[in-house]
């Protein structure tokens, strides 16, 4: 009996070992994937991991909805005819980007790119909101011109005076700062190094992932200054340990640490998120008729505790921006502090009223739903990383910053130092493809007659312009002076071109007609107003939701 027990124990261990081997082997090849002699997966995180929710974001479970106007259209333009769309799950900012959030961005730019340095003067200036947007020839608004952006009394108010281009650059900056901290939290970079970087040591997520030795300007004391990366450097020196351990010195996308990019939401995402769930479905039946982000046909609350209170900040009638002082007032003459009104079903605040919001899309009078009804978006301009003949990447340096000159004459950097230089995709990516054939797809199937002629004759867009919009010229003479030439032609027939972007939602300046999430308007991407702000979004990777579906009884 004493001899049998050790034998049983050995057999038990062997059976466990076989189970572990089966569990750690590849379902494709049967090869062992984890352990000292493991293959592919020794460098791969095999454990399924849900995406973390980024700072400031809330989760929006995707689904189908009726995009477009479902109420009467007294304006008669019908530029958003109802059509059924489906959007994937994503994340969106709980509130609009506030003055305080944007000031953090400005402070970072000012520290890294001092405006008094002639090499960087235009970088900080290009990000400054247009505070003069508050001025009115027949109105006294100087208090907002001087105080709205920077006074602490307005710190939690939505930032305005920001163009679409400035909003996009804020999103890019936010992406890199969030991922930079995640990398430091994983002990891969030097502690608190992000607070003391210079212009030639900026962290870029894509640069770190694709060419890590070029990140932080190649500063090894930052790149390998974390506890974990220092340990890996030591392990690399020992060739006997090298084969048994995770030898990559840098965090990679497969490690699941980095978040996808912060970006502007697409028009479809914004409209879907604004509608919420209440009122657009009944059990598993899609209803789709809804006028506001809340349920009901009125702008005042019908609940017992808050009956009569306004549910959004908007212009109630001519000369009435807040109502009569007292209980019926909406507590805001101009914008209101974020979270002043109840959120919608997704937990999003101010999806109607307060400020209108930029979205990612290029404006066209129609939504081409016949061609696509999944993650609809107009504005794709595909690019790729610029690489040398030996395969190395080209990175923007402090001496190679390229500035775009806007029609206003202002300069804005195309990319910041540390970022991988982007170039349009070419025949290598488009040849014999059936899903896309060009880099710039903003004009793809936009529905007008010239579009059909252009597609049929395969001519350049310069020969067959999509829309006859004004063309304001800006040029720099030999002395470096910028000249601006306003287009005075009387032959222009539209304001629409490839540089106009959609903005959604009503604002403190708008009547309740514009609170309908389906409403859509447009403005050139380089212009700013005192009633347009923005919020960021982020794609979700992996499962549609992190909640298990339960039977509905």
The pLDDT assigned to 20 comes to: 54
Residue 299 has pLDDT above 90, yes or no: no
Q: How far is CA 525 from the centre of its chain?
A: 15
* CA 356/CA 160 separation, integer angstroms: 10
Residue 246 has pLDDT above 50, yes or no: no
Residue 531 has pLDDT above 80, yes or no: yes
Cα→Cα distances 372→431, 444, 458, Å:
22, 12, 22
Q: Which residues, 6 or more positions from 55, have their beta carbon under 8 angstroms from its beta carbon?
A: 178
The pLDDT assigned to 448 comes to: 57
Q: How confident is the model at residue 281 (pLDDT cuts 50, 70, 90)?
A: low
Task: Give the largest CA-CA distance in the chain.
Answer: 106
Residue 552 has pLDDT above 90, yes or no: no
Lowest mean pLDDT among 13-27, 83-97, 231-245: 231-245
Q: How confident is the model at residue 348 (pLDDT cuts 50, 70, 90)?
A: very high
The pLDDT assigned to 242 comes to: 43
The one-character DSSP state at 9 is H
- When the pLDDT of each residue in the chain is averaged and rounded to a whole number, the result is 84
Residue 461 has pLDDT above 50, yes or no: no
Burial pattern 23-46, b for ≥16 Cβ within 10 A else e, equals eebeeeeeebbbeeebeebbeeee
Q: Which residues, 6 or more positions from 379, have their beta carbon under 8 angstroms from its beta carbon?
A: 360, 361, 362, 441, 442, 501
* Residue closest to 56 by CA, chosen among 90, 88, 96: 96
Residue 77 has pLDDT above 50, yes or no: yes
Q: How confident is the model at residue 43 (pLDDT cuts 50, 70, 90)?
A: low
Residue 180 has pLDDT above 90, yes or no: yes
Residue 40 has pLDDT above 60, yes or no: no
Q: What is the mean pLDDT of residues 150-156?
A: 97
* CA 70/CA 519 separation, integer angstroms: 10
* CA 262/CA 172 separation, integer angstroms: 7
Q: What is the mean pLDDT of residues 364-384?
A: 92
Lowest mean pLDDT among 33-42, 69-78, 325-334, 469-478: 33-42
User: What is the distance in angstroms between the CA of the first residue and the CA of the last residue of the chain?
Assistant: 57
Assigned token pair, 479: 């002395």
Residue 447 has pLDDT above 90, yes or no: no
The pLDDT assigned to 120 comes to: 87
Q: Which DSSP string corresponds to 442-489?
A: TTTT--SHHHHHHHHHT--TTTS-S------EEEE-TTS-EEEE----
Residues 247 and 235: beta-carbon distance below 8 Å: yes
- Tell me how long the chain is: 553
Q: What is the mean pLDDT of residues 193-206?
A: 92
The pLDDT assigned to 300 comes to: 77
Q: Where are the alpha helices (DSSP H) in 113-154?
A: 121-127, 142-147
Beta bridge partners of 523: 501
The DSSP bridge pattern shows strands 356-362 and 532-533 to be parallel
Assigned token pair, 507: 């604002």
Digit-coded pLDDT (tens) for 395-427: 999 999 999 999 998 999 999 999 999 999 999
* CA 106/CA 102 separation, integer angstroms: 6
Digit-coded pLDDT (tens) for 471-513: 888 887 777 788 888 888 888 888 899 999 999 999 999 998 8
* CA 364/CA 390 separation, integer angstroms: 42
């Amino acid at each position: 009996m004493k001899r049998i027990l050790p034998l049983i124990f050995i057999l038990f261990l062997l059976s466990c070992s076989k189970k572990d081997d089966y569990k750690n082997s590849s379902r494709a090849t049967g090869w062992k994937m984890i352990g000292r002699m493991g293959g592919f997966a020794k460098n791969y995180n095999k454990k399924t991991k849900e995406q973390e929710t980024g700072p400031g974001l809330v989760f929006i479970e995707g689904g189908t909805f009726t995009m477009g106007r479902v109420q009467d259209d007294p304006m008669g333009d019908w530029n958003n005819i109802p059509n059924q769309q489906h959007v994937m799950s994503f994340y969106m900012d709980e509130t609009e980007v506030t003055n305080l959030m944007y000031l953090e961005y400005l402070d970072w730019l000012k520290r890294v790119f001092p405006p008094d340095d002639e090499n960087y003067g235009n970088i900080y200036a290009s990000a400054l909101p247009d505070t003069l947007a508050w001025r009115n020839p027949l109105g006294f608004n100087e208090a907002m011109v001087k105080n709205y952006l920077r006074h602490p009394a307005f710190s939690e108010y939505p930032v305005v005076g920001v163009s679409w281009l400035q909003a996009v650059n804020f999103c890019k900056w936010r992406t890199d700062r969030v991922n930079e901290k995640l990398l430091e939290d994983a002990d891969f970079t030097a502690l608190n190094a992000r607070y003391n970087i210079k212009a030639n040591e900026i962290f870029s997520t894509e640069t770190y992932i694709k060419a890590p030795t070029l990140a932080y300007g190649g500063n090894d004391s930052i790149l390998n200054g974390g506890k974990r990366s220092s340990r890996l450097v030591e392990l690399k020196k020992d060739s006997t340990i090298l084969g048994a351990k995770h030898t990559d010195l840098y965090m990679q996308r497969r490690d699941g640490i980095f978040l996808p990019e912060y970006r502007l939401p697409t028009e479809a995402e914004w409209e879907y998120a604004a509608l919420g769930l209440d009122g657009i479905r009944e059990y598993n039946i899609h209803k789709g008729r809804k006028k506001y982000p809340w349920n009901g046909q009125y702008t005042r609350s019908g609940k017992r505790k808050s009956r009569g209170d306004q549910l959004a900040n908007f212009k109630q009638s001519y000369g009435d921006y807040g109502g009569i002082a007292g209980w019926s007032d909406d507590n805001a003459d101009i914008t209101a502090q974020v979270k002043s009104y109840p959120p919608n079903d997704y937990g999003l605040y101010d999806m109607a009223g307060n400020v209108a919001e930029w979205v990612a899309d290029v404006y066209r009078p129609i939504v081409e739903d016949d061609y696509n009804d999944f993650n609809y978006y107009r504005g794709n301009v595909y690019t790729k990383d610029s690489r040398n003949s030996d395969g190395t990447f080209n990175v923007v340096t402090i001496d190679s910053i390229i500035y775009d000159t806007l029609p206003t004459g202002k300069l804005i950097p195309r990319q910041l130092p540390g970022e991988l230089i982007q170039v349009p995709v070419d025949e290598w990516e488009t040849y014999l493809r059936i899903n896309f054939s060009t880099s710039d797809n903003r004009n793809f199937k936009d529905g007008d007659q010239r579009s059909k002629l252009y597609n049929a004759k395969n001519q350049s867009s310069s020969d067959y312009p999509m829309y006859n919009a004004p063309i304001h010229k800006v040029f720099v003479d030999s002395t470096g002076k910028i000249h601006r030439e306003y287009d005075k032609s009387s032959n222009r027939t539209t304001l629409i071109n490839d540089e106009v972007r959609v903005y959604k939602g009503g604002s403190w300046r708008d009547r309740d007609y514009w609170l309908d999430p389906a409403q859509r308007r447009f403005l050139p991407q380089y212009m700013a107003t005192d009633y347009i702000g923005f919020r960021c979004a982020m794609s979700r990777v992996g499962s549609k939701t992190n909640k298990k579906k339960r039977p509905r009884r």
